[in-house]
């Protein structure tokens, strides 16, 4: 493996990045740094955020500044204010043990006068959003004729944001430049056009795979009905305890709605969108960055520039129209060598778009079934157990209370105690998910795609037998009413019912089978205890759900129907 030293980086900069914990160069650094240090060639580098691109251009840029020259020698253009601030900070950090060049960040949404003063006080490196830099140039507050190197960071994003005109204006003014280093996550024609217009024989450096999303990212999608998108989001979040996620919505309104609902449902979440004042956006981003918020629900535009390297999941609450936008979204996870998961929640008609993203990104997606209520409960239970196991104990502080605690709990066995501790949190999930239906959408022809008695598509259906019939004076309507009122089974979960004289067969959404089977077995009809059996599987076969509810399900007293 190549060391930073072998790439030609000066010792004082090496010290700076060592202090930041950079041990070995990332692939884009390995590719770009030697060329950028030793030639004046123009460079095009295909690199997503999170791949270490800032150091890939930042280190050679710093090393090639002339300390005796006081004017602006290097210009870095970034799409957002947040990225400008981040890049400027990174440069200062890299040069902690080296010469401290004057780095000034200028961007829109902040007072221009203060920025003008900073530039006048001396700026050797300017990090700017193109719009604000153009403003400063027209006010004659900054001169670019001494600029030797221009970096276009996230060029595709800048063009997406409509900065083409400003970039043209700026590149024309930086006419004495020796080279342009262009970094972009994707290579749409607009980026190619910039290269064609302003670069001469650029060196195209890429880590080998073009338009490919980061290999550390696993792409997963779930298919549900439009009405079940929020329920699916909840299941995905609940089935991943410890998740730290960025959830993308398509519009400001959708962002607000989803965030409001999540906050109401008790999730540690907040919204980030363009209707918020800049100060509120900064505050939300900071809370997320510092880990005080677990879920951030955002629009694409508002999330630009948010730099967090340990996001575990990106969730697409619906797919974006553009493949490039998907690439940017998913690139927020799996950063700095970590693995990440990009999840998409789609309705059936958008499955086609998944294929398109697969083709364009050469990434492969795995379709997964939406976790059942039981699976969610299981994940939560193991998470709780793990937390109990790893719980830090303040021995000295808890000691004075131990005698009383031991006294209170002395009649409980170890096994019983464990069950109770685990149940404190777990019961909340069990109460919510015990009767949760299957909300997957299955392809036509799949048995699980059966219709219910009222024509609605159903989840996975089970065929059941019950020893109740016409002779008991029971109608189909009575039966449906009983299931709905007594066990909370929605209409859509009940399928076809065949009522015979002494018995009946009926289809029921698998998620309700155990509740109904156990519940009905506690009723009697005309002196007989009601018995429900699986009509399609061998009797002895106990499902995972059976075992689960046998362990955790509540017992009811016998009742008469």
What residues line the site for ligand AMP (CB under 6 A)?
22, 25-26, 29, 49-55, 309, 335-336
Instruction: Give 34 or 241: the residue with its C-beta nearer to ligand AMP.
Output: 34
Instruction: Give 91 or 173: the residue with its C-beta nearer to ligand AMP.
Output: 91
Whose tokens are 């009122």? That residue is 485
Instruction: Give 93 or 467: the residue with its C-beta nearer to ligand AMP.
Output: 93
Instruction: Give 330 or 452: the residue with its C-beta nearer to ligand AMP.
Output: 330
Q: How far is CA 175 from CA 106, 113, 128, in A?
A: 21, 26, 17
State the DSSP string of 496-516. EEEE-SS-EEEEEEHHHHHHH
The two tokens of residue 388 are 């109990």
The two tokens of residue 383 are 């998470």
Instruction: Give 208 or 400: the residue with its C-beta nearer to ligand AMP.
Output: 208
Minimum distance between the CB of residue 81 and ligand AMP, rounded to whole angstroms?
A: 16
Instruction: Give 45 or 464: the residue with its C-beta nearer to ligand AMP.
Output: 45
Beta strand segments in 313-412, E: 313-316, 340-346, 365-367
Instruction: Give 25 or 495: the residue with its C-beta nearer to ligand AMP.
Output: 25
Minimum distance between the CB of residue 83 and ligand AMP, rounded to whole angstroms?
A: 9
Q: Considering only CA atoms, which of 549, 482, 490, 542 is closest in space to residue 515?
A: 549
Q: How far is CA 464 from CA 17, 227, 487, 534, in A?
A: 66, 28, 16, 5
Cα 395–chain centre separation? 38
Identify the DSSP state of 530: P
Cα 297–chain centre separation? 9
Minimum distance between the CB of residue 416 and ligand AMP, rounded to whole angstroms?
A: 47
Region at 518 (left for phi over 0; alpha for psi -120 to 50; beta for the rest): alpha
Minimum distance between the CB of residue 12 and ligand AMP, rounded to whole angstroms?
A: 17
Minimum distance between the CB of residue 418 and ligand AMP, rounded to whole angstroms?
A: 40
Task: Tell me the C-alpha distance between 332 and 303, whole Å.
Answer: 10
Helix (H, G, I), strand (E, B) or coil at 478: helix
Beta partners for 248?
298, 316
Minimum distance between the CB of residue 58 and ligand AMP, rounded to whole angstroms?
A: 8
Instruction: Give 14 or 345: the residue with its C-beta nearer to ligand AMP.
Output: 14
Minimum distance between the CB of residue 23 and ligand AMP, rounded to whole angstroms?
A: 6
Instruction: Give 28 or 249: the residue with its C-beta nearer to ligand AMP.
Output: 28
Quick check: 87 and 76 in contact, CB under 8 A? yes
The two tokens of residue 281 are 């956006």
Minimum distance between the CB of residue 163 and ligand AMP, rounded to whole angstroms?
A: 20
Q: How far is CA 185 from CA 133, 153, 158, 248, 336, in A?
A: 23, 9, 11, 18, 15
Minimum distance between the CB of residue 52 and ligand AMP, rounded to whole angstroms?
A: 3
Instruction: Give 289 or 463: the residue with its C-beta nearer to ligand AMP.
Output: 289
Minimum distance between the CB of residue 18 and ligand AMP, rounded to whole angstroms?
A: 10
The two tokens of residue 101 are 């060049």
Instruction: Give 338 or 353: the residue with its C-beta nearer to ligand AMP.
Output: 338
Instruction: Give 16 or 459: the residue with its C-beta nearer to ligand AMP.
Output: 16
Minimum distance between the CB of residue 159 and ligand AMP, rounded to whole angstroms?
A: 19
Task: Tell me the C-alpha distance between 217 and 24, whole Å.
Answer: 21
**Phi and psi at residue 248, in whole multiples of 5°?**
-95, 130
Residue 260 CB neighbours (<10 A):
13
Beta partners for 461?
509
**Phi and psi at residue 77, in whole multiples of 5°?**
-105, 130
Minimum distance between the CB of residue 93 and ligand AMP, rounded to whole angstroms?
A: 9
The two tokens of residue 377 are 């409960």
Kind and range of the H or E element at 150? strand 149-152
Task: Tell me the C-alpha distance between 29 and 3, whole Å.
Answer: 11
Instruction: Give 55 or 468: the residue with its C-beta nearer to ligand AMP.
Output: 55
Region at 128 (left for phi over 0; alpha for psi -120 to 50; beta for the rest): beta
Burial of 521 (0-12, 13-18, 19+ CB in 10 A): middle
Minimum distance between the CB of residue 343 and ligand AMP, rounded to whole angstroms?
A: 22
């Amino acid at each position: 493996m190549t060391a930073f030293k072998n790439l030609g980086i000066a010792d004082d900069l090496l010290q700076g990045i060592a202090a930041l914990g950079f041990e070995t160069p990332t692939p884009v650094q390995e590719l770009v740094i030697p060329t950028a240090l030793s030639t004046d060639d123009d460079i095009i580098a295909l690199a997503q955020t999170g791949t270490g691109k800032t150091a890939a251009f930042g280190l050679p840029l710093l090393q090639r500044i002339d300390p005796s020259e006081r004017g602006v020698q290097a210009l870095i253009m970034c799409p957002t204010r947040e990225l400008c601030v981040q890049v400027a900070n990174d440069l200062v950090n890299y040069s902690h043990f080296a010469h401290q060049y004057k780095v000034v960040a200028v961007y829109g949404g902040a007072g221009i006068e203060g920025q003008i003063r900073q530039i006048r006080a001396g700026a050797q490196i300017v990090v700017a959003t193109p719009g604000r830099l153009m403003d400063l140039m027209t006010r004659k507050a900054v001169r670019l004729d001494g600029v030797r190197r221009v970096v276009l960071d996230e060029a595709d994003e800048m063009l997406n944001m409509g900065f083409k005109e400003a970039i043209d204006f700026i590149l024309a003014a930086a006419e004495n430049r020796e080279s342009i280093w262009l970094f972009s996550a994707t290579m749409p024609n607009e980026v190619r056009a910039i290269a064609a217009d302003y670069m001469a024989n650029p060196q195209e450096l890429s880590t080998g795979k073009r338009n490919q999303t980061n290999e550390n990212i696993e792409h997963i999608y779930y298919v549900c009905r439009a009405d079940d998108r929020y329920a699916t989001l909840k299941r995905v979040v609940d089935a991943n305890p410890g998740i730290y996620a960025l959830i993308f919505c398509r519009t400001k309104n959708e962002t607000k709605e989803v965030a409001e609902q999540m906050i109401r449902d008790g999730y540690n979440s907040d919204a980030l969108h363009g209707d918020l004042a800049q100060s509120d956006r900064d505050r939300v981003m900071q809370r997320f960055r510092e880990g005080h918020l677990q879920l951030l629900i955002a629009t694409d535009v508002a999330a630009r520039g948010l730099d967090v390297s340990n996001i575990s999941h990106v969730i697409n609450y619906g797919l974006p129209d553009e493949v490039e936008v998907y690439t940017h979204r998913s690139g927020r996870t799996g950063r700095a060598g970590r693995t990440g998961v990009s999840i998409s929640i789609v309705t059936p008609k958008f499955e086609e778009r998944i294929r398109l993203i697969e083709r364009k990104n050469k990434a492969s997606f795995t379709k997964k079934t939406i976790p059942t209520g039981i699976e969610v409960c299981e994940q939560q239970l193991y998470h709780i157990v793990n937390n109990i196991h790893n719980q830090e104990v303040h021995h000295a502080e808890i000691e004075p209370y131990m005698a009383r605690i031991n006294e209170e709990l002395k009649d409980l066995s170890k096994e019983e105690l464990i069950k109770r501790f685990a149940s404190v949190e777990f019961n909340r999930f069990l109460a919510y998910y015990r009767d949760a239906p299957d909300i997957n959408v299955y392809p036509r022809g799949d048995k699980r795609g059966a219709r219910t008695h009222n024509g609605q598509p159903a989840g996975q259906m089970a065929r059941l037998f019950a020893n109740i019939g016409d002779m008991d004076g029971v109608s189909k309507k009575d039966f449906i009413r009983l299931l709905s009122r007594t066990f909370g089974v929605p209409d859509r979960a009940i399928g076809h019912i065949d009522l015979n004289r002494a018995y009946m067969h009926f289809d029921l959404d698998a998620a309700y089978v155990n509740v109904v089977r156990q519940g009905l077995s506690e009723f009697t009809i005309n002196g007989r205890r009601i018995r429900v059996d699986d009509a399609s599987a061998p009797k002895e076969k106990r499902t995972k759900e059976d075992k689960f509810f046998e362990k955790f399900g509540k017992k009811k007293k016998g009742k008469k129907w």
